[in-house]
Amino acid sequence: MPVTADYHMHSSFSGDSSAPMEEMILNGIRLGLTQMCFTEHQDFDFPISEAFPEGFFEINPDAYLYDLLKFKNKYADQIKVCFGVELGLQPHLSRKNAAFAKAHEYDFIIASSHLCNGRDPGFPAFYEGKTQEEGYREYFESIYENLKTFSNFDVYGHLDYVVRYGPRKDEGYSSEQYRDIIDAILQKLIADGKGIEINTKGLSGGLRDVNPCTAIIRRYKELGGEIITVGSDAHAPGQIAAHFGRAADILSACGFRYYTTFEKRSAAFHKL
């Protein structure tokens, strides 16, 4: 396996996972990983619904850190376990997210857009009165607005996450349709010293490509981007490092000769 560090995963400390942290770690060891970083969800002001009750995507960072340190030490001679968080961004949350990010010494912070203008693009209601293309453009525009208001993160997660849940998912999707706004996003990330991730979860859900798609990853490299992590977005032990062989092939095809990991918010680069 040319990529041996999974830098996006969730355990039972995230509302949408029931996986015991130790089981995640043990499977990472079985798979031959050298590093894994838990990135539990923290999404303030996520819309309350029957599916997502109040606080569903919010963590108790002290309890989370207690368990992580326990297992980090227990398995220190077999794998490096890192302390991360996936912060859900919205412009009005910039101060709240900044305070949260500073409250603990995270190794790694993923910024993500799980909501677009306060609405969940995973539900059909988001597309009422608009085409899929209009919904996708609105999503990318909201990412650019987030980047104007918040910068305490290391990589932006699954940059075209919206295509996982659109009416036709990635059928007919081409990032070229959104080249202007995607270039603006990538240029802003690069100027601010931020990276992106290659997220393989969508492949298991029937998508044809990773998130963001290969074309966006290639464009990030063309524009001078250097920082890229690899994450399975696993929510169960069996999902860890899924499709990492394909991820490595995509990175190589896009001109990358390495992937990135983080410790204490400092980047390290590893040859593919």
The whole model's pTM is what?
0.97
d(CA 146, CA 99): 16
Stretch (H or E) spanning 219: helix 214-222
pLDDT at residue 82 greater than cutoff 90? yes
Kindly report whether the peptide bond that precedes residue 2 is cis, defined as omega within 30 degrees of 0.
no
What is the CB-side half-sphere exposure of residue 235 using CA atoms within 13 A? 10
Residue 19 token pair: 């996986």
Domains (ranges, CATH) in the chain?
5-271 (3.20.20.140)
Q: What is the full DSSP assignment across 248-270?
A: HHHHHHTT-SEEEEEETTEEEEE
Residue 163 token pair: 């295509």
The C-alpha torsion from 247 through 252 and 258 to 261, rounded to 10°, is -20
Q: What angle do CA 120, 210, 98 make, to 5 degrees?
A: 50
Kindly report, residue by residue over 203-246, the tens digit of the pLDDT.
999 999 999 999 999 999 999 999 999 999 999 999 999 999 99
Kindly report, residue by residue over 229-241, the tens digit of the pLDDT.
999 999 999 999 9
DSSP at 171: T
d(CA 130, CA 120): 15
Q: Which amino acid is at 268?
A: A
Kindly report, residue by residue over 2-40, the tens digit of the pLDDT.
999 999 999 999 999 999 999 999 999 999 999 999 999
